[in-house]
Amino acid sequence: MDVIVYDSGQAIVNSDNKRDNEEQEIKYLKENEVIRLITGIKSELHRMLSLFLFESASRISEALVVKIKDIDFYQGSVKLITLKQRKKAYRVLKISDKLKSEILLYMKELNLTNEDYLFTRKTETRHISMQAVNQQMTRYFKEILGSEYADRAHPHTFRHSRAIQLLNSGMNVIQLMRVLGHSHIRNTLIYLQYSNKDIAKTIQESNKTMGLY
């Protein structure tokens, strides 16, 4: 797999395998679309889950098993178990004050303790099911964003959207690899072709820090 980077900051991942190219197509939302979607969700639980999925860029299977004890409210971080790894691994990621506040309110409302799952309901001890989340997300995407977003109506879209947003904000690929919990850099490189980060501007900014004009 080759990554060709142009002056515009765009990158194209080349592969001789047609199937590989098809699988590498990523469906994502722009920042304003993410905000519109999350703010449009009325359910407190589903809104919190959507914000969590976006901020942490986690897989839905990783998010659903998060317990209250995995959240460090003092540091403002969450410990995620990294799935799709041969060995058991974790990664710790920062969360916003907004998400932290929503979690605290939800904890108080449900009287959750350290051993409780975060994404649960009053009448249940288990976390909500992945099937239920998929169904709800499909509905939210179509109702809030429109039927033309049906091909992106999936929890994983938050992960893709966050990855691209982080690249556009200046995060490097190695850092993004750690955030996403990828075991191979090639999986992370795919996102480069969707980044609009201007390479020339980045070089200029770097030069300024060293007094090179």
HEC profile for the chain? CEEEECCCCCEEEECCCHHHHHHCCCCCCCHHHHHHHHHHCCCHHHHHHHHHHHHHCCCHHHHHCCEHHHEECCCCEEEEEECCCCCCEEEEEECCHHHHHHHHHHHHHHCCCCCCECCCCCCCCCCCCHHHHHHHHHHHHHHHHCHHHHHHCCCHHHHHHHHHHHHHCCCCHHHHHHHHCCCCHHHHHHHHHHCCCCHHHHHHHHHHHCCCC
- Give the C-alpha separation, 69 to 179, whole Å: 20
The percentage of residues in the chain with a pLDDT greater than 90, rounded to a whole number, is 70
pLDDT tens digit sequence for 66-87: 999 999 999 999 999 998 767 7
pTM equals 0.83
The token pair that represents 80 in the structure block: 């995620």
Q: At residue 135, what is the residue type?
A: Q
Domains of the chain by range and CATH?
Answer: 2-209 (1.10.443.10)
Q: According to the model, what pLDDT value does residue 196 have? A: 79
pLDDT tens digit sequence for 109-136: 999 999 999 999 987 789 999 999 999 9
